Structure 1
Amino acid sequence: MSPRRRIRLPHLLLTAALLGALPGSPPAAASTASARAVTLRVATYNIHAGAGMDNVFDLDRQTAELRSLGADVIGLQEADRHWGSRSEWRDLARELAGRLGMYVFFAPIYSLDPAEPGGPRAEFGVAVLSRYRIVSAENHEITRLSTQDPNPAPAPTPGFGEVVVRVEGRPVHVYVTHLDHRPDPVVRTAQVADTRRIMAEDRGPKILLGDFNAEPGAPELAPLWKELTDADPGAPTFPAQDPVKRIDYVAVSKGAAQVRRVWVPESVASDHRAVVADLVLRGR
């Protein structure tokens, strides 16, 4: 099993001129600017491999839905990359990013040998789309029970994506995840523990986006709310048609970000509805 890798992405190097302070000029201006509140709109969306509630693959429909959110950062789940005929063998996250004019990082959960020698690997996972340049990214391992193994056992597996974006000079850690779907919560319990351990390694504003496959009061999710605030939209997200439960989440680190507004748009472009939140980043 491959080790975790942090990817440093190319970015522009800017050279700034050094300006001497004018006599008598107040030094407080710089500190006031650096402490200015910064707003950020984020969203999470399980795209169902490009298919809507009708199980028809339609990336145009999902592009329109994502564009309507107006989000700066979007976490995607169930994103195919050359996976199969259900998504026309396309690289969904990259194609959506291109259509929306956003940067992208894809974190595969499964990466299978190509169907034909020399072809692309068949991959399925999560992704982050961002209007801000992604300055670093990592595909972490968390406990999973594989759906590709006829006799699976819980094991560390990739597919917990993390990126760092710089929002008006401030580094923000964004994580995207898709937790186990089975009724038995034992694997989700382990995944929550893994999530907390990984996120504890980072400082500054943190945003967790994902399909948790559990409702807010589920005991296995309770440890998350020690460090994170659930941006509760007060509305269910699944299934997209007449939803009855909320299993999709935006969560932010306590003290580092404030939730100004959160909502669930009505849409059947996927089998889930998105969650969208306007955040205010605190501090520098």
Structure 2
Amino acid sequence: MVFERGTRLLAGAVVVACMVLLGPSAPDGSLSAGPMPVGTARDFVPNRVMTWNICNPCGRGNADRAAEIAELAPQVVGLQEACRRDVERVRDHLENLYGLDYHVEYGTVLQNWGRCGGVPWNPGGYGQAILSAEPMTDHVNVEYPDGGSEDRGFMAVTTLVDDRPVRVFNTHLAQRRQEAVRAEQTAVIAAEIARHDRAIVLGDFNAVPDTPELTPIWALAEDTDPGCRPAQAGACAPTTDWQSKFDYVFLRGVTSLGHRVRQSPHSDHHVLHSDVDVT
């Protein structure tokens, strides 16, 4: 019996090793259908970016979150409603189960035991996070002067996308029915975006495309979906379970090559990812 069990383990190890050697399921790096089996190794897609509000607290497993990210293998991932401990575990799963070794920076805006656990005197950090296949520099974390009903902010880093340096922002604006607060927040982040000729802005803006508070962002950048503009708000694919377009990949000096919105069973927000051309 011990011999048979050892033989099965050896066979499994050989299968995993073959997956590592073969890499992606297709020569062009295109995605295979369905969830990735644990142990499947793949390469980063160097021009792919992704934004996802992972929903916290929602009681979802970090292994499931990692599997969602691994199936797409983006170069850069922006997460919102992210507990630092959860992101650490997601990052570990991505490396240990799928061979995707991400660098991580955090945009913590509050310490919250109710959302992120921990102990009362050392609660978990909550806010945004950016995962990048390449190292990140010039990291800044900014809390908005008024977060609304909960502290909110944005973070920014410089990293490589499509093998070129790009300023990447990640934000989460004030909750719904707080339009005036969001208008103040977009004015703050727009002033920073305007300083860069080339930028990718990821996030949950809690606002549909034709709301006035997004006007400063639209003046600087375009949505990754060329058919999604304020005047065509009804044509924008919804990114939430309540059928609203709240999540964006805004591009400044960067061209969209394609995008996809994919429902996730692990969050009340869908996964939004985009392949881009930075040249």
Q: TM-score, normalised by structure 1?
A: 0.70
Counterpart pick for 1:263 among 260, 263, 278: 260
Residue 48 of structure 2 corresponds to: 41
Deviations 1:6-46 (A, max 9, x none): xxxxxxxxxxxxxxxxxxxxxxxxxxxxxxxx961001000
Residue 245 of structure 1 corresponds to: 244
Q: How has the CA–CA distance of structure 1 residues 236 and 167 changed in structure 2, closer, same or farther, with 3 Å as cutoff?
A: closer
Counterpart pick for 1:129 among 121, 128, 131: 131
Residue 22 of structure 1 corresponds to: none
**Contact 2:172 2:204 (C-alpha < 8 Å) held by counterparts:** yes
Residue 165 of structure 1 corresponds to: 159
Residue 144 of structure 2 corresponds to: 142
**Contact 2:262 2:272 (C-alpha < 8 Å) held by counterparts:** yes
Alignment of 1:1-284 (within 5 A): 40-49=47-56, 51=58, 56-81=59-84, 91-100=85-94, 101-111=101-111, 115-117=119-121, 120-145=122-147, 147=149, 159-167=153-161, 170-201=164-195, 203-232=196-225, 234-239=236-241, 243-253=242-252, 256-282=253-279
Q: Partner of 1:40: helix, strand, or coil?
A: strand
Question: How much does 1:108 deviate?
Answer: 0.7
Q: Partner of 1:97: helix, strand, or coil?
A: helix
**Contact 1:42 1:276 (C-alpha < 8 Å) held by counterparts:** yes
Q: Distance in 2 between matches of 1:231 and 1:166?
A: 18
Q: How has the CA–CA distance of structure 1 residues 39 and 80 changed in structure 2, closer, same or farther, with 3 Å as cutoff?
A: closer
Q: Distance in 2 between matches of 1:64 and 1:266?
A: 14
Deviations 1:186-233 (A, max 9, x none): 0000011001112223x3420000000011111111221111011127
Q: TM-score, normalised by structure 2?
A: 0.71
Residue 32 of structure 1 corresponds to: none
Residue identity over aligned pairs, in percent, reads 31
Q: Distance in 1 between matches of 2:80 and 2:278?
A: 25
> Whose relative contact order is higher, 1 or 2, with alpha carbons under 8 Å and at least 6 apart?
1
Q: Partner of 1:49: helix, strand, or coil?
A: coil
* Residue-pair matches, total: 216
Q: Distance in 1 between matches of 2:207 and 2:74?
A: 24
User: Tell me, which stretches of 5 or more residues in structure 1 are unaligned?
Assistant: 1-37, 82-90, 149-156
Q: Distance in 2 between matches of 1:60 and 1:50?
A: 16
Q: How has the CA–CA distance of structure 1 residues 213 and 158 changed in structure 2, closer, same or farther, with 3 Å as cutoff?
A: closer
Q: Distance in 2 between matches of 1:206 and 1:259?
A: 12
Q: Distance in 1 between matches of 2:69 and 2:220?
A: 29
Q: CA RMSD in A?
A: 2.3
Q: How has the CA–CA distance of structure 1 residues 161 and 205 changed in structure 2, closer, same or farther, with 3 Å as cutoff?
A: same
Q: Partner of 1:72: helix, strand, or coil?
A: strand
Q: How has the CA–CA distance of structure 1 residues 158 and 47 changed in structure 2, closer, same or farther, with 3 Å as cutoff?
A: closer
Deviations 1:38-63 (A, max 9, x none): 96100100001373xxxx42112111
Question: How much does 1:68 deviate?
Answer: 1.2
Q: How has the CA–CA distance of structure 1 residues 193 and 60 changed in structure 2, closer, same or farther, with 3 Å as cutoff?
A: same
User: Tell me, which stretches of 5 or more residues in structure 2 are unaligned?
Assistant: 1-44, 95-100, 229-235
Question: How much does 1:168 deviate?
Answer: 6.6
Q: Aligned partner of 1:247: which letter?
A: F
Q: Distance in 1 between matches of 2:211 and 2:251?
A: 18
Q: Partner of 2:50: helix, strand, or coil?
A: strand
Deviations 1:120-175 (A, max 9, x none): 44321001011111123110232333546xxxxxxxx6631111113476321100
Q: Partner of 1:132: helix, strand, or coil?
A: coil
* Mean CA deviation greater in 102-111 or 132-141: 132-141
**Contact 2:136 2:159 (C-alpha < 8 Å) held by counterparts:** yes
Hey, which of these two has a bigger chunk of helix by percent? 2
**Contact 1:107 1:158 (C-alpha < 8 Å) held by counterparts:** no
